Amino acid sequence: MKKNNIVKGILYAVLVLLVIISFIPFYMMIVNATRTNSEILQQGFTLIPGTALMQNYDTLIQYMNLWRGFANSLFVAVSVTLLSSYFSALTAFGFAVYKFKGKNFLFILMLVLMMVPGQLGLIGFFDLVRVMGLLDTYIPLIIPPIAAPFVVFFLRQYLMTVMHPSLLEAARIDGAGEIKIFHKIGLPIMMPAVATMAIFTFIGSWNNYILPLVVLFSPEKYTLPVMMGALRGSQVAENLGSMYLGIAISVVPIMVAFLFLSKYIISSISAGAVKE
């Protein structure tokens, strides 16, 4: 028993070390965000915060309004999540409930194209968006995720296992239309699976870099990742303290949100993987 405790002690020490490794880059970031450029350059590494936070903030905000990027990213990610969830549920319901001609073909087509890497159509997508006059708008970021094959696939599989046709029959006998049935019965049944997928959709959209990079031009429309990229080439990069602060602003709110949502997010990831 005693030996077991020593082993456990060592194991916990290793785990704590891993925690430190996971966290120390963020800690360096936060500390450096409060120091002046010359402090960072001259005094090197320290665990003690400095006093230049406001000064760094002023420098940063003078060139780049990161809060704006935050708002933009939030707008895009929320829109994408809602649209993608709703339309994927609709499509999954269509595939799961009805037997129509060509259904299998369409479903397989969707599955095959699910395997295609997102960058394959990038050049054509860019050209299409340009011709449509939609460059520098959010439409090319928000509308295409309506067609999310993986989400449809996942929801359809879920629906097949949990839904009894008798439920629908009962509703039809009550005189409900098909759309109403979807809203009244299909959607609520799928809700747990929709929520799981919504988290992935949101994180994916929030982190998306290459698409907004290619599509957006005006800095005031930049999403957060693109704004972070632009930070590097901007005057902010002259001041390491402000640079760290800029990164911190993009990171800390996510950390805080995660504090409250971690349990939910982790169980979603677990569910997403096992249901495969």
Partner 1 sequence: MKKLDNYGYMFIVPFFIVFITFTIYPILLTFYYSFTNYNGMGDPEFIGLANYSRLLTDSYFYSAFYNTMYIWGINFFFQLSIALLLAILFSDIRLKMRGLNFFRAVFYLPNLITIASVALLFGILLGWHHGTINHLLMDLGIISSPINWLNDPTTARWSVGLIGAWMWFGHTFIILMAGISGISKDYFEAALIDGANRWQTLVKITLPLLKPIMLYVLITSLIGGLQIFDLPMLITDGTGAPQGSLNTMVLYLYNQAFRYDNYGYAAAVAYGLFIITVIFSVITFKSMYRSNVKEG
Partner 2 sequence: MKKALSLSFVSLLALGVVAGCNNDESSANEEGSSGSGSGEKLTVWSFTDELEEPIQVFEERHGVEIDLTIIPIEDYPTRLRPVLQNGTGAPDVFTGELAFIKDWVEQDYWEDLSQEPYNVEDLEGDYVDYVFDMGRNSEGAVKALSWQTTPGGIFYRRSIAEEVLGTDDPAEIGERFSTMDGLFEVGEELKAAGYRLFPDEGAVRWFAQGDNPQPWVDENDELIVTEERLNHFDFAKELRDKDLTAFAPEWSPAWFAAMDGPINYNAGWDEVDEGASNEVEVFSYALPTWGLHSVLKTNVEETDGDWAVTNGPSPYFWGGTWLGIYSGSDNKDLAWEFVKMMTHEEEFLTDWALDTGDVLSYLPVTEKIKDEFQDEFLAGQNNYTFFLDEAQSIDADTVTRYDQQIDTLFGNAVSDYVEGVRTKEEAVDEFYNLVKNAYPHITVPNE
Which of partner 2, partner 1, none sits in contact with 48, Cβ below 5 to 8 A by type? none
Query: In the window 219-258, what residues touch partner 2 (CB under 8 A)?
Result: 219-220, 230, 232-235, 237-240, 243
How far out from the chain centre does Cα 20 lie? Answer: 25
Q: Where are the alpha helices (DSSP H) in the chain?
A: 2-33, 37-43, 53-63, 66-97, 103-114, 122-131, 139-142, 149-162, 165-173, 178-181, 187-207, 210-215, 224-233, 240-274
Structure tokens at 80: 């994408």
Cα(24)–Cα(44) distance, rounded to whole angstroms? 15
C-alpha angle 77-81-82 in degrees, rounded to nearest 5: 120
Window 56 to 95, contacts with partner 1 (CB under 8 A): 87-88, 90-91, 93-95
Nearer to partner 2, 84 or 250 (CB): 84
Of 38 and 104, CB closest to partner 2: 38
Write out the binding residues for partner 1, residues 230-259 only, by CB under 8 A: 231-233, 240, 243-244, 246-247, 250-251, 254-255, 258
Question: Which of partner 2, partner 1, none does 269 bind, CB closer than 5 to 8 A by kind?
Answer: partner 1
Q: What angle do CA 235, 239, 242 make, to 5 degrees?
A: 95
Residues in 178-217 at the binding interface with partner 2, rule: CB under 8 A: 183-184, 187-188, 191, 217
C-beta neighbour count of 204 within 10 angstroms: 15
Partner from partner 1, partner 2, none binding residue 25, C-beta < 5-8 Å depending on class? partner 1
What letter does residue 234 receive in the DSSP assignment?
S
8 A C-beta contact, residue 251 and residue 29: yes
Q: Which residues 197-216 are close enough to bind partner 1 by CB under 8 A?
A: 203, 206-207, 209-210, 214
Smallest distance from the beta carbon of 46 to partner 2, in angstroms?
A: 13
Please give the residue ranges that form the binding site for partner 2 (CB under 8 A): 37-38, 40-44, 63, 78-79, 82-83, 86, 130, 133, 135-139, 142, 183-184, 187-188, 191, 217-220, 230, 232-235, 237-240, 243
